[in-house]
Structure 1
């Protein structure tokens, strides 16, 4: 029986799993961010190898291939750059670089046709046909898109607070949460050069952050569910994500719908609103007659999908029983 190494290389964390051709997971390891775009090749490579060493255990077992799920911008990296590093760990075959979109899709199912929508720090949707990406929408980064993402939410929160402080916007409970997060006094009577001092400090502290760091404010919008401004931001977030998903839906392609990323999977408010928006657009989830055959399946990360891809790309059969074996044996390893 052959062994395979599968890796989910995310921007903040990397997960590796060693599994057999029958889908039984033998070892699991984690490390820091493994995305070469955000960490550089050497930093990402270190994370991939560290997670793999833990998954392989103290007695390194030979494995046929390495399958790495990575963000799209990393897919043009030559596989041989990775292959040389994995040889010393026991690799006997090749390294295959796959899209993190496919890894997320296969983390929720084993079928080869369907749809995936991810809303984490960024936001992207894809149509999968025959186990390959057929269409992708958004995922274009904070300057060009990522509408409905964690960054987008955080940006909207901080803009709403800035507007509330100087009267351009309506008062919101988000103001107190943001000022507390940034360590800014909530005294809105003190002014400097005519500007509310708290807003002046907000400007300084916000521009000290890297743009992508605005995603830190995204969770605040869910902390005040009764706040009108927060509800309006969530509604616009859902509308943006529904629009992104609708852009890849095609009537002739039906299959499961997978939701990934914390914006969609934590709390459920945005996910439910997205489904409502899809229904308004005539793209409902549920009946087989619709392109989206079922209610969305939520996935926490792409490591199960990386394992499924490892088997599929090596000609192994992945059916319901094998998929169940992967998920249950991996869950056991993760809980130990």
Structure 2
């Protein structure tokens, strides 16, 4: 079989899709997190291996119940593979992971084994529009990053990037940023209320955040947020969330509460949080945009490009609109706007277009 594999490796999950030489999806699977920056090479390889093996199981009819061994015995079933990996940014990181993935798939390093940051998968929509050759891929999920591309004969050339430096350094626009901003605004309202000698305004979001952490007062949130990462020995079925989550997840896991409170309940505090995070994200994205010149040759004009969104947060249309509105206020209106809800499938079909028949 000549199979074409694309694996989207993210901070929350791993998605693998397998196509045949006609672009038909034969198999797919979801696995656990595989952000390379947060895992050892062995743990990353394990996450990818389990997900790809599960995807191979679904390629048969009926699907196999037995694990598909990787590395494969004999010839590789894959004609080409494309990995979009969050946390992979430098040539050194690509060089580190390439031998492991090459051995795992039985696919030699080279043009048929492509490994890049996961934003590269979002450049594919440029091929769907005949009048443009530029794309800006924007991921807003667990983290946040934006990357600009120009289509070339060999694929996509990366022009510029902003963000994606992890939760300690930023990840603007993503789940951690939203969760942190929510807590910052909650404690800010408590601070302001202290000088008025009056309680802060009621907020559905504040109530939900306190319930998430099992707290009765905002004044107790400091310990819940800053408590060290948990040791396995202290965990029980009755342990509260602040004890079971690492610090980054304590904040990023609040994002669904913010979105629910903002877009379903119209909570003013939650809406202010998302207005703040979307504007900050738009400010970052705008670093990539403008008229190029000899000093900034890699700038992209929005009206000559497609902005391609991917990730759970920007999958919410109302949040995408906030980002696009903030960009428009800065004079950046894109010719096309796309949301890629299945980057692995898009990438697998792109592989077929590039390699099938060659």
2:286 corresponding residue in structure 1 = 246
1:105 Cα offset (Å): 3.1
1:177 corresponding residue in structure 2 = 208
1:312 Cα offset (Å): 5.5
Distance 2:194 2:272 in 1: 16
TM-score, L = length of structure 1: 0.77
1:206 corresponding residue in structure 2 = 225
1:113 corresponding residue in structure 2 = 134
Matches within 5 A, 1:98-177: 98-106=116-124, 110=128, 113-130=134-151, 131-166=156-191, 167=193, 170-173=200-203, 174-177=205-208
Question: Are 2:114 and 1:96 equivalent residues in the alignment?
Answer: yes
2:327 corresponding residue in structure 1 = 278
Which residue of the other structure, out of 80, 91, 106, is the alignment partner of 1:65? 80
5+ residue gaps, structure 1, are 186-197, 285-291, 318-336
- Answer whether contact 2:314 2:320 (CA < 8 A) is retained: yes
1:293 corresponding residue in structure 2 = 335
CA-to-partner distance for each residue in 1:198-256, whole Å, 9 max, x for gaps? 23432211112544221111222233333332222221112112112211124465222
- Answer whether contact 1:104 1:301 (CA < 8 A) is retained: no
Q: Structure 1's 250 and 217: CA in aligned 2 closer, same or farther, altered over 3 A? A: same
SS at match of 2:15: strand
Distance 2:126 2:85 in 1: 17
Distance 1:129 1:301 in 2: 21
5+ residue gaps, structure 2, are 58-63, 228-241, 292-299
TM-score, L = length of structure 2: 0.73
Q: Structure 1's 134 and 200: CA in aligned 2 closer, same or farther, altered over 3 A? A: same
1:191 corresponding residue in structure 2 = none
Distance 2:194 2:342 in 1: 39
Which residue of the other structure, out of 304, 310, 335, is the alignment partner of 2:351? 310
1:188 corresponding residue in structure 2 = none
- Aligned residues between the structures: 293
Q: Structure 1's 297 and 175: CA in aligned 2 closer, same or farther, altered over 3 A? A: same
1:301 Cα offset (Å): 4.3
2:254 corresponding residue in structure 1 = 217
Distance 1:105 1:248 in 2: 15
Backbone CA RMSD of aligned residues: 2.8
Distance 2:276 2:222 in 1: 24
Q: Structure 1's 315 and 110: CA in aligned 2 closer, same or farther, altered over 3 A? A: farther
- Answer whether contact 1:103 1:309 (CA < 8 A) is retained: no
Which residue of the other structure, out of 265, 269, 287, is the alignment partner of 2:318? 269
Q: Structure 1's 85 and 148: CA in aligned 2 closer, same or farther, altered over 3 A? A: closer
- Answer whether contact 2:21 2:356 (CA < 8 A) is retained: no
